[in-house]
Every structure is written in C-alpha cells, then in structure tokens.
Structure 1
C-alpha cells in the first residue's frame, strides 16, 4: 500500500518536472518562434504603457477612474457576520497582492481588492497606513481616490438621511431655494449656504426636538465639585471645594489659636496659692450642688404645666404638617425645583458625588456617568498620570477648552465604534437607519468651521495629546495632523453651545478664549457640541432658543414665537439685547458674520433716516427761527424808535427851558 509520504514526493517531483518542461518549452519558443517573440514584446510594451499611464495620470483623471471603479465595486455585496468578514478580508488582500505582483497591468484590479478589504476591516486608519508602506504608489493613490469619491458620494446623500424624520427638521441649501449663484470663471456655481428648517408647524413655547451632546466640558468656574464632569448636571448636596478648603483653613487657624501654651515651672509659693484656690473652688462646687437640688424641686412642680404646653405644641405641629403636605402637592416649575436648597435628610440620601478612583478632581453624579467617562476618555486624561497632568497644564496655560474637547472627542469616537462593532457581533445592534451608516467623524465633516492659523502652543498640545492617547487610539499620531487639529478647533469655535443651568454658578477668574453660542438667557456651566443644532443659523431676532430642561448637557430647541412649516430656525449666537454696534462687533470677531437680520436692517434704516434728516431739516428750522427773531427784533426796534423820537422832542423843549432858568440863576 502506498503511503502519504510517497504520494507527496511523487506530486512534488511531477510539479518540478512540469515546471522545468514549461521553462524549456518557453525558452525554445522564444528562440525559434518569431511570432511568439513578437507577442512577448507587444505584451511588455503594453504593460509599460499601462504603468506609464497610471503614473502620469492627473488628479482629475485618477478621481474619474476611481469613480468608475467605485461604481463597479459597490455592486458587490459585503459580508455581515464577523467570520464571513474575516474570510473575505483575507481573500481580498491575497488577491490584491497577487495582482500587484503581476505588474502594472494588474494595479487597477488590485486597488479594487484592497478597497474591498478596507470596507470590512475594523480599524480602517491602521490598514491605510499598512497600504501606504506595502503597496505600489499607483495602487495606493487609486485606493485613496476611491475612498475620497465614496466620501463625496456619501456626503451628497447625507442631507437626505440626516436628521431623521422624528426630529421634524431638515437641512436645506438656502441658495438653491433662492437661486443665488456665484461665478467661478465662466461657470455659475451654487455655493452651499445650509440652514435648519422645520418640517411642520410649531406654536410658541413648543419643543421642536431634543438632542444629546457629542462631547461636552465644564467651564473652569464650574469645576468645583458641584457639577458632574460627564453630563454637567448639578450634583444634589455637593459642596463647593473652594469654600470647604477655606472653612477647613479657618478651622485649623482657630484650633491653633485655642491650643494652650506650655505651662512654666512653678515655685513653692505658687503651688501653695493654687492649693488655696482649689479649696475655694471645691466650696463653690458644693454650693452649686445645693442650688441644683433646689432647682430640681422647682422643676418637678412645673412638669404638669410643661406637659400641657407640649400637648398644645404637638397639635399645632400636626396642623402645620398637614398644611405643608397640601403645599407640597402643588406642582412646581423647573426653575423652582432646580433652585430649591435640599434638606439635610434629602442631601444625606441623594448626595452621591462619585469621584475617580485614581484622582479626586473629576466627580460624577452617578455610577453610569463615571463608567462612561472612564471608558470614553478619562482613562487617559486622568490627572494621576504625569503625561495627562502635563497636558492639563498646557491647556490651562492656553486658556482654551478646545484641546480638552478634541481629546474627549477622539476617545468617545473610538469607544462608540467599538460598542457598535460589539453589538453587531453579538447580534443585538437592532434595526439601523440610513443615518446610522454615518460615523461621528463624517457628521463632523459636514459642519462649518472657522479657518484658524496654527500656533506654537497648538503644536505642543498636539504632541502631548498624541503621547497620552497613542496606546488607546491606534493611528492617532498619523491621523491627527496639525492642519486637522486646527480644523477641529475651528469647528468647535463655530458650532459649540453654552450649556445653561438654573443653579447658581460661582464666578471665576479663569477666563476661556473659546467662542460659544450664548444668548445670556441663564448662567453657563459648560460648553458642548451637537450634530443637528450646529446647523442652526444666527439671528438677532431669533425664533428658537436653546434650553436645558433636565439640567444636563442634553439640549432642547424651544420656539420663542410660532414657526410655520418650511420656515428656517434661527437662534441668537450673542446676547440679542445688546446694542447693534456691540452685536455686530462680537459676531464679526467670533464668527466673521455680518448680520443682516430684520432687526439689524430696521436699526440700520432708522440710523440712515436720522442721518439724512439731520443736514436738511435742522438748518431750515434754524433759518426759520432766525428770520422770526429778526422780524420781531425789527418790530421792537421800530416801536422804540418812534417812542424815543417823541420823547426826544419833549425833552428838548424841557431842556431849553431848564437851560434858561439855569442861566438866569447864574446871572443873579
């Protein structure tokens, strides 16, 4: 019986003989067959031309070719289960490597295979970096171009899928609605100017939608142990750390002052004097005991009276409790509930300020907030780590919250994707909508942003951020470049909202330079970023307002006036009660906006009307007044002249008579 080893050896020998035979046949044909040699030359020239064509393609040509390949690849169905994805990934990578080994003629198909493998890989950023190091440059360019085209196609469908219909709002291009176009060379291009529109009518005071924050952070003034570092909620019964430190310091000072000084050594005379004083004190103590016994006797006499008074007081207290219960049954507003001081009993039950196990700086209102914060970002931002503490110090020196928000964002981004992948693997993902196919990063890509210039401080913060997160977020160093970090800061500065609270927030000298959409309707405890609300435009005469009814960073958009269907929602980025010049100055400095809302236009029209009336009407009025004064003065002057003439004639006769009498007197 032939064993397996003999079969394997025979197979190997057969394959070797077949290979040698093919080599000999190929060499014979190459040397003796002219047509065969011409065919080889044609294939070689064709491959060289293909390689030269791929290497010399312009960016537009590569994008066009990538779009064609993408249309072909997207028709192929991707696997769904983890096992199927793993097998599919290995098959696609193996096929791509084989095609790359065949030369430039296989580069196009190899790019398709590598792209398909990328679609099922759990960490695309990591795989892209591997492609960059291991694949030919032409193949890598095609793969990246296909990814870019996929992003463009996905973004074009983004505003049809997001927001979901249950939010009753949609994102629309206002220039397409009005037909405004901008000329670029010889072409007319519609420049997108998107806003958020209502898809149904709302009355005044209604909630349009509610939305959870993507990422949030407390302001320095609220980082006093009274507010949750994750959801920004006021922790019931929590005390201000600064006040507690001041009280402890004062108590320590008082205790130090009350401590008795060391007793000096006493001589014999002093010891005798102390014995005399002790005997006198004992006598006084005996007299005091006698007085106490007399007081006990008198107290026994008044027990009956005291019991009667106690019964009366108990009945009054019962009546008061019934009244209190009736009052407590009355409904209270959110402001009354939020601003009410908790009772000692309630504080003992609800005061659950949970702090981090490794540091005392971060506190949370619940175990869920503490766990979510640790899984998302606190595990590498915890001040117990020297690198994290250095990062925190750099951020404090910059007087910005954006670096903290960016660090939290990347941590939460990775954590959410991991949880989604785990849910899909366990089969508990549930039904997914078209909007669920977009990652948080793709949502951020569709937001507006301010163009900022990178600074030296940004470079230091970015380096330290990569140091503390490189192990938790693989590929972050390569992904977060200086330009992308600056772009994220610009998105946060343009789209973040101030989170308001009904609770009192202490004032702080730590001022942050980040801009926030804040109408100053209430005190701010933090700042947060939202996916839907970021698309609301500004108006000094808004029709909606951001409110935080549950005291957390969860935002609710509430109407200030009736909003009709298909009407744009507008919110105040700054305090609308300010003067127009102050509003315009703040909007220009913070958002580079020149507001042209109805309120601003009406105020501009009033100013222009006043300016146009001043040079015309005021001189005319003054001229008329001058003419009236002159006419009155002339009339008065004429009357005075007539009177003085008449009086002059009389006075001349009288004067001559007086002169004659005076001369006669002199002669006499």
Structure 2
C-alpha cells in the first residue's frame, strides 16, 4: 500500500524520475503520430472550453455540470490493472497534476483530471482526498470532489441493473415505473409519480417450497434474551454440549484385561463428599471445581460491599457471585471479557477481527462498558448494529488491501463493485426524530470507534446516525432457530428491545440481521415467500410458500399474519408507517364492511320491529281503554236505568197504596 508519506514525497523527490519517462513517451507520440496530434488538439479544445466554463461558473450546479463533462472525458482513458502498473500510473498522474497546478489557473482543469485519475488507482481514496484538500488549490479540489460526486451518481443510476447478481434469481424493479410503462400509447404521462417504489421480482418460475436464493447477513446481533451462553455471539448457531471424552485405547485394553466396565467402575466409586477440609476456600475455587458455593454467601456479600465489579472476570476475581449464564459446555468464550460465547474458534476469531476488538468490555478504557450499559438501559440494538457495521467496514477494507498486496482472490462480497455503504444508501428507511438518548449514544459510539476508525466522529453525524437507525428499523429480520434442543428464554422487562424487526413469529427469535437483497422484499399479509434459516445461523434463505411465476413480486409478512386485521394494521402503521392494502386486507375489509352492513341492517330491522311492537301495544292499550270506557258507560246507563226503574217502581207502589186507601174508605 502506498502510504501518505509516499504521496507527499511523490510530488517532489520522484517527480522528475516519474515525469521524464512520461514526457519522453508523450513527445515521441506527438512527433510521429498524426492521429495522436489530432486527438491532442481536440482534447485541448475541450479542456480549454471546459476551463472557460468553470472560470465563469457561479454556482455548485455549474461546477457539477462541467465536472460531468470532464468525467466522461477521462472515462475513455484505460486504467492499469496490476499493482506495479498502478503505482507507476499513480506517480505519473500526481507529477502531472503538480506541474499543471504550478502553471496557474489555466492548468487547473487538466490538473483536476490528473489528480482524479490518480485517485482511481490509489488503494485508500479517503486518505488521498484528505491530502488533496491540504495540498491542492481550492478550485482544483472542488473540481475533483465534483467529479467524484458525479461518478457516484452514475454508479447509483446503474445500481439496480447489476444488483442483485443473476444467480440469485431475482431482480429489483420500480413498480411506479412499471405502472407508467403499462399506460397506453398517447396517454398523458406528465403526472407520473416519480418517487421510486421498488420491489423484488422473481426472474423464473418457482414451485411451492422451493429455495429462491440464500444470502449472508451484512450485520447481526443476538437478542438480549438469547445471550445466555447457548447461542454463538457471531453466527447465532445453537452451541451444542461438548461430548465426554471416550476412553483411550490403552484404557480400553486395560478394562478388557481386568474384565471391568465403565458402569462397574461408576458403581464402585463412592459419591464425592465435601467435608470441611475439602470445602473450597473462595468463590473462585468453587467455580473452578463446579461446586455450588452455598457456604460462601457471607464472603460474597462482603465482596459486594468492598468492590462492585463491572465484568464477569472482575466478579470472579473479587469472589462475587455473578449472574452466571448457564452456558453450553461446548461454548468458547472470549478470554478477555468472558461475556461473549462462540460455537467455534473460527467464529471467535472472525468476531474479534471484525468488531469485538472494539466492543470487548475487558479493556482498561471504560468506554466499551459504558456503551454496553447504555444500550442495555435504552433497550436498543441499533447502536450495537451500527458499531458492528462500521467495525466490519474497516475489517473488509483491510482484507481487500491484503488481498491486493498478496495477489489473492477476495471473497464475493469484497469483489462487489459497490461498497456496503452504497448498498445501504439504496434501502428504504423510516424518517425518525432524533432523541436526547440518540445524541448520548452517538457521542459514546464515536468514542468507542475512534480507536480503530479515526475521523469517524466527523463522518457519523447526527443525521447519518438517525438515518442508519431508520434503515435498521425498517429492514432487519428476526432470526429464528428451529433446533429442538435450542431453548430460547422468554423476553422479560430487562431483556425487551424497542427495535422493530420483520418477524413471522413461527418460533422463538434469537437475534436480528440485516440483508442486502431481502431488505427489498415488500410486505403482504398473505405472503408468497418466507425467510428461513436452514443452518440455524444468521444465513438466510428465501423459500416459496406457494407457486411463484416469473415476473411476480415477492412478499413476506412483516408481522404475524395470524393476527386479527385491526391488530395487524395497527402494528404495520405504528412500526413501518404502512397502510396495508393487500388482497387479504381488502377481502377482510370487505367482509368486515359486509358484516357491519348486515349488522346495521339487522339492528335497523330489529328497531323497526320494536317500533312496530310499541305501536301495536299502544293501539291495543288504546282499544282496551276505549272498551273499558264503553263498558264503564254501559254500566252507568244500566245504573241510571235501574235507578229510573226504581224510582218508577216506588211511584207505582205509592199510587197503589193510595188507591187501596181510597178503596178502604
């Protein structure tokens, strides 16, 4: 690798040596090649024209436009391939750039082109950009940066043409663009939606229960409830119990000679008893011998009062009873912090190289411990994922450089045309509002990573940190372990997390992971694919739940599809800001609307019936009252008649009496 010191010296000490060879070659071509001379004149005119435009440029947009012209011009130049050729090319480009800068503003445009080409072959572009900023004129530096920005834009424009690779059997398409293309010819397309709405589509037919593709995670971490020493902190695999050592051949022969067996030996051996003389003197001895230190409670209490340890190792040193995870006997722990457990030596070494060296809490610097405590109190995994992400970026760049130096083949991910950061730039994300806790976490993250990534505090601003959190909250998946022997503890108040994750809830989740391809799969409450973990690690596989035709979009469910419609939609709205309009939701909405209409109709019918009954009851009551009134009137008439009859009877009787009296006289 060419160091910064080499770059600085290249402009002075090696300028003559590197430049003379190029000048001799240039002069020879200029004298003997007519086509070369014509090409020089054309290029010179283009450069002079662009230089005049740049000198007249008054805005950043103008500079960007002219930078694009220069970028297209230098793109025709072929870059060297071997390390030796790259170094010679780099020296020549830097030398020319320095010479052109010294000639004054007239040479600034061509100088920017030379510095830009040197940047293309330098193994550490960020380092070289920092040198350019300090050593080149401001106009030249701005033009170089504008050319870089234009190249990034061009690279992003063709991103979805080359990613994912064809062997993954999927492609990413913009559904809004597809809808616009489906419009009939002559239709008005002025009001097309320009906001991308991308999805993942199959490039061939698949039957049900087929694997479409497999994918390694970008970054992952265990859930707090699974950090119990039974799952690998790197690959998330269930750590099996170590097998007891089988007797050696010599021991077996001896057993055969004596006619004894292991079972007989076990029967003959007395149970181990611990008397006062054999009782461990301290908690450390008790842990080493595997004994339960029930008799050491007073000593442990005394240790608590004397010193409060911060790590497992410190707890053991002071004789304190720490909360020991019931780790698998086959687990390999970090021999520094004793808090991270791995399923193999490879996972332990890979994790340390990639990120654990920055996050290990055994360091004399308390930053790692403070960072871990803050994430635990905040119930967040996003800061851990972000810290791992930047650590792994550094590790991958180191591996790329080592592969270049050794001339060995890099891994598929390291040979990718796009950096991991560029991949993340193309993902959806949630727009989050920064909180005071985010500011604290960002500051602690910068302190944690500054040891291995100088200048990270300048790069990871508050806006970038919040955007990264938004990408993780929208795109991460819950990792599930289907191993029957893997018991995932239930989440408690202490181990709960506030991060959102796409989860099918088919088994207990052990962690969360981010994937480059699968992040582009959209939600549907009736999905046609699901994410599985066939190796019980964080390596994912996309499996079909039903037949998928070529050109059909892939969907997973971000939430448990068995939930009630209202609960499902509430979770989608609050976690992902999705207003789901999938066929299942439409059908359930229609069914709910129909049921509601039926219920309303039944209620209306019932109300009408009740009203009719009330009317009939009122009519009956009125008729009864009328009948009673009529009866009452009839009774009164009868009474009157009876009274009249009585009066008539009395009168007749009086007349008869009077007549009798007259007769007697």
TM-score under structure 2 normalisation? 0.69
Q: Does 1:363 align with 2:375?
A: no
Evaluate the alpha carbon distance shift between residue 153 and residue 647 of structure 1 in structure 2; reply closer, same or farther with a 3 A threshold.
same
Evaluate the alpha carbon distance shift between residue 375 and residue 560 of structure 1 in structure 2; reply closer, same or farther with a 3 A threshold.
same
Evaluate the alpha carbon distance shift between residue 618 and residue 180 of structure 1 in structure 2; reply closer, same or farther with a 3 A threshold.
farther
For residue 158 of structure 2, give the secondary structure of its aligned residue in structure 1.
Answer: helix
Using the alignment, how far apart are the partners of 1:53 and 1:150 within structure 2? 18
Q: Does 1:164 align with 2:175?
A: no
Corresponding residue number in structure 1 for 2:102: 101
Q: Does 1:561 align with 2:541?
A: no
Q: Does 1:525 align with 2:510?
A: yes
Please list every run of 5 or more consecutive structure 1 residues that lacks an aligned counterpart in the other structure. Answer: 1-45, 240-244, 258-349
Corresponding residue number in structure 2 for 1:140: 141
Using the alignment, how far apart are the partners of 1:557 and 1:432 within structure 2? 19
Is the CA contact 1:125–1:475 (under 8 Å) kept in the aligned structure 2? no
From 233, 236, 252, the equivalent of 1:232 is: 236
Post-superposition offset of 1:497: 0.7
Is the CA contact 2:54–2:66 (under 8 Å) kept in the aligned structure 1? no
Of 474-483 and 570-579, more deviation after overlay is shown by 474-483
Deviations 1:34-74 (A, max 9, x none): xxxxxxxxxxxx99x96895374322222211111111112
Is the CA contact 1:125–1:479 (under 8 Å) kept in the aligned structure 2? no
Of 67-76 and 422-431, more deviation after overlay is shown by 422-431
Using the alignment, how far apart are the partners of 1:610 and 1:456 within structure 2? 47
Corresponding residue number in structure 1 for 2:294: 253
Evaluate the alpha carbon distance shift between residue 603 and residue 398 of structure 1 in structure 2; reply closer, same or farther with a 3 A threshold.
same
Corresponding residue number in structure 2 for 1:504: 487
Evaluate the alpha carbon distance shift between residue 187 and residue 585 of structure 1 in structure 2; reply closer, same or farther with a 3 A threshold.
closer
Deviations 1:562-621 (A, max 9, x none): 222211111111122222332222222221221111122223333444555565663344
Corresponding residue number in structure 2 for 1:446: 426
Corresponding residue number in structure 1 for 2:280: none
Evaluate the alpha carbon distance shift between residue 100 and residue 394 of structure 1 in structure 2; reply closer, same or farther with a 3 A threshold.
farther
Evaluate the alpha carbon distance shift between residue 189 and residue 541 of structure 1 in structure 2; reply closer, same or farther with a 3 A threshold.
closer
Q: Does 1:400 align with 2:380?
A: yes
Corresponding residue number in structure 1 for 2:204: 200
Using the alignment, how far apart are the partners of 2:242 and 2:632 within structure 1? 97
Using the alignment, how far apart are the partners of 1:381 and 1:256 within structure 2? 32
Corresponding residue number in structure 2 for 1:480: 460
Using the alignment, how far apart are the partners of 1:405 and 1:248 within structure 2? 37
Corresponding residue number in structure 2 for 1:122: 123
Of 525-534 and 443-452, more deviation after overlay is shown by 443-452
Is the CA contact 2:400–2:410 (under 8 Å) kept in the aligned structure 1? no
For residue 528 of structure 1, give the secondary structure of its aligned residue in structure 2.
Answer: strand
Evaluate the alpha carbon distance shift between residue 180 and residue 494 of structure 1 in structure 2; reply closer, same or farther with a 3 A threshold.
farther
For residue 627 of structure 1, give the secondary structure of its aligned residue in structure 2.
Answer: helix
Evaluate the alpha carbon distance shift between residue 633 and residue 211 of structure 1 in structure 2; reply closer, same or farther with a 3 A threshold.
same
Is the CA contact 1:85–1:120 (under 8 Å) kept in the aligned structure 2? yes
TM-score under structure 1 normalisation? 0.69
Over aligned residues, Cα RMSD in angstroms? Answer: 3.8
From 185, 192, 195, the equivalent of 1:191 is: 195
Using the alignment, how far apart are the partners of 2:82 and 2:477 within structure 1? 40
Is the CA contact 2:214–2:542 (under 8 Å) kept in the aligned structure 1? yes
For residue 251 of structure 1, give the secondary structure of its aligned residue in structure 2.
Answer: coil
Deviations 1:488-520 (A, max 9, x none): 111111111111123321133222221111122
For residue 209 of structure 1, give the secondary structure of its aligned residue in structure 2.
Answer: strand
Is the CA contact 2:400–2:414 (under 8 Å) kept in the aligned structure 1? no
Corresponding residue number in structure 1 for 2:360: 382
Using the alignment, how far apart are the partners of 1:544 and 1:248 within structure 2? 50
Using the alignment, how far apart are the partners of 2:56 and 2:119 within structure 1? 23
Using the alignment, how far apart are the partners of 1:463 and 1:235 within structure 2? 35
For residue 115 of structure 1, give the secondary structure of its aligned residue in structure 2.
Answer: helix
Using the alignment, how far apart are the partners of 1:431 and 1:251 within structure 2? 48
Using the alignment, how far apart are the partners of 2:488 and 2:288 within structure 1? 19
Please list every run of 5 or more consecutive structure 2 residues that lacks an aligned counterpart in the other structure. Answer: 1-46, 183-188, 244-285, 299-327, 651-665
Corresponding residue pairs, total: 514
Using the alignment, how far apart are the partners of 2:411 and 2:593 within structure 1? 59
Using the alignment, how far apart are the partners of 1:53 and 1:255 within structure 2? 80
Using the alignment, how far apart are the partners of 1:426 and 1:621 within structure 2? 86
Of 565-574 and 90-99, more deviation after overlay is shown by 90-99
Within a 5 Å distance, the mapping from 1:459-470 to structure 2 comes to 459-470=439-450
